[in-house]
Copies of this chain bind each other. A is one copy, B any other.
Amino acid sequence: MPPGEAHAGGGDAVEDVLQLLRTGGSRITTSRRLLVRTLVERGEHATAEELASQVQSEAPDIHLSTIYRNLEELERRGVVSHAHLGHGPATYHLSATAHGHLVCEGCGAMHEAPDELFEDFAALVAGRYGFVVDSHHFAVIGRCARCTAAERGAPEVG
């Protein structure tokens, strides 16, 4: 595969999603094609606004509200998920590339967490409450190693 189109599958992934939309009775529009392509290229958490920016770099007229509507549609089809990572806006990504997140409340750094990290916890919660954890849908908040270390030296309030 040529460099620059790294992400497994490349354009095929885009076509797969578009086909899914088509099959479901949705229409394939420029905004949807570009949005799906953007999502595949990023493969990573991005806010609606970031996605819009990138889409708009190719088609400036596509409105942010259209991005929101399309994301909603894609989410309804199960192609996309969104997560609320602490404060700021929600982030979106393809369900296929979904994973958990560790977000540092000190510096805001975000770390990706493999599903496997949540396995035991999910099993525990399921066993005890019958609650099925969706580890992709929320961020685990806490303090990263660096911030934890930094705090040992300097106290917080002045």
Contacts and interface: CB of A to CB of B under 8 A. Distances in A.
A137 interface: yes
A102 B125 contact: yes
A141 to B, nearest CB: 4
Given A84-B87, A121-B120, A128-B117, A143 B148 contact: no
Main secondary structure of the interface of A (DSSP, over half): mixed
A145 B129 contact: yes
Given A87-B84, A138-B138, A145 B130 contact: yes
Nearest to A76: B157
A117 to B, nearest CB: 7
Given A76-B157, A87-B84, A111-B129, A105 B134 contact: yes
A80 to B, nearest CB: 14
Contact of A148 (B132, B139, B145): B132
B129 A102 contact: yes
A139 B137 CA distance: 10
Interface in A70-86: 76-77, 84, 86
Given A138-B141, A157-B76, A117 B111 contact: no
A131 interface: yes
Interface of A: 24, 76-77, 84, 86-87, 102, 104-105, 111, 113, 117-118, 120-121, 124-125, 128-134, 137-145, 148, 157
